């Protein structure tokens, strides 16, 4: 196998962006990072023109993209189109997200993800089941008619993906602690979301195996003086991860800065909650039979509830730098490293380091995506 050496770039290695380093790729992995003056023999050089090389973005909440919604067509072709659409914006790994639906749709979605991973569809890392074990009081755009408590058969189904990650968003007050433990024992990454839980109920859920919070602040009980709610539990807990949507619509930047101050470093993760308009010319899509259209960058259903987002990960990174006062290096880690750690893939993805998958994104001076690599295979997008 030929070795490719990526040279002449600012490379995120460890804590900082560094110049003069080469990233050597072979067989889909990073084999070494070395001084450009000490390259191994027999390398094919790729000059990156002084641009910025980061770990490829990992998005754990992607409902759709490229004009298609996973719920509406849970197939391998849909997954391929979604992944291709988001790759243009630097996302090299994602969890296609199925929002609350019937058992048959869940079964089809899990089967499609299993087959996509088996076929090697670039970028598909597993599945995010957002529901249907949620609270009607915080349903957002979900169809409460789909909500239910999982029985043994459904626990087995939701945990049945055997070749990828399964992340499951649920309301801890709606699911018995024994069921939470059953999911966690089966390797499911549990998150609290669309929940009306009290602080005490949320703490009990964390004790039973919940490891994260889905779109922090949205569709959950807020932090108040005498009732900390889900948000208070999320901000207080040192070990859990929180997904945040930095689009200027879901959460005020000041609230996100509070979360940054409260949570330990490495526990806030950028997500998009993206819908079909991302990477598509059509600003509309259909959800539960209702047509939803982007207006001024916002997606809302007829009831006024936010219906996902039109955000992409490259924009999320730019917004995080501009609005939250963090460095590009930290924003990049929030878009890649910390997500990989959350879903248990931090030893192989989310970092530019020897032994890791060669999943990379190249940005120009305006932080626009120029090129991506997945398992060492490159696609140039612009520039």
Would you mind telling me the total number of residues written for the chain in this entry?
A: 383
Provide the sign of the torsion angle of the four alpha carbons 76, 81, 85, 87, taken in this order. positive
End-to-end alpha carbon distance in the chain:
28
Q: What is the DSSP letter of 100?
A: S
The β-bridge partners of 286 are 291
- Going by the DSSP 8-state scheme, the letter that residue 212 receives in this structure is E
| Separation between Cα atoms, residue 97 and residue 83, nearest integer Å | 12
Kindly list the catalytic residues. Answer: 273
CA atoms within 13 A on the CB side of 207: 10
Contact 62, 272 (CB under 8 A): yes
Name the DSSP letter for residue 239: S
- The answer for 345, left when phi > 0, alpha when psi is -120 to 50, beta otherwise, is alpha
Q: Which of 267, 239, 332, 237 is nearest to 15 (CA)?
A: 332
């Amino acid at each position: 196998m030929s070795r490719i050496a990526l040279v002449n770039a600012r490379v995120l290695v460890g804590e900082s962006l560094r110049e003069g380093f080469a990233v050597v790729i072979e067989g889909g992995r990073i084999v070494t990072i070395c001084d450009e003056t000490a390259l191994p023999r027999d390398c094919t050089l790729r000059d990156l023109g002084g641009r910025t090389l980061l770990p490829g973005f990992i998005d754990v909440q992607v409902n759709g993209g490229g004009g298609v919604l996973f719920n509406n067509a849970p197939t391998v072709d849909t997954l391929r189109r979604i992944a291709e659409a988001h790759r243009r914006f630097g996302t090299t790994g994602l969890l296609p997200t199925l929002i609350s639906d019937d058992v048959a749709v869940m079964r089809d979605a899990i089967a499609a993800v299993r087959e996509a991973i088996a076929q090697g569809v670039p970028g598909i890392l597993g599945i995010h089941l957002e529901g249907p074990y949620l609270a009607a009081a915080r349903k957002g755009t979900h169809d409460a008619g789909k909500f239910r408590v999982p029985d043994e058969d459904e626990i087995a189904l939701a945990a049945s993906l055997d070749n990828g990650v399964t992340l499951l968003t649920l309301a801890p007050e709606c699911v018995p602690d024994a069921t939470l433990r059953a999911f966690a024992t089966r390797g499911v990454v549990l998150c609290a979301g669309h929940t009306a839980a009290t602080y005490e109920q949320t703490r009990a859920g964390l004790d039973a195996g919940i490891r994260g919070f889905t779109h922090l602040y949205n569709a959950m009980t807020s932090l108040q003086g005498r009732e900390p709610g889900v948000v208070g539990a999320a901000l207080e807990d040192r070990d859990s991860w929180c997904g945040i949507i930095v689009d200027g619509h879901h959460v005020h930047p000041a609230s996100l800065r509070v979360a940054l101050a409260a949570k330990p470093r490495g526990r806030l993760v950028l997500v998009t909650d993206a819908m079909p308009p991302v990477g598509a010319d059509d600003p509309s899509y259909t959800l539960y039979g209702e047509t939803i259209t982007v207006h001024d960058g916002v997606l809302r259903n007829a009831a006024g509830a936010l219906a996902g987002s039109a955000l992409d990960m490259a924009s999320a990174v730019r917004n995080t730098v501009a609005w939250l006062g963090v460095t590009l290096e930290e924003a990049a880690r929030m878009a890649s490293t910390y997500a990989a750690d959350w879903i248990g893939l931090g030893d192989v993805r989310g970092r530019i380091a020897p032994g890791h998958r060669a999943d990379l994104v190249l940005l120009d001076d305006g932080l626009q995506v120029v090129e991506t690599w997945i398992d060492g295979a490159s696609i140039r997008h612009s520039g």
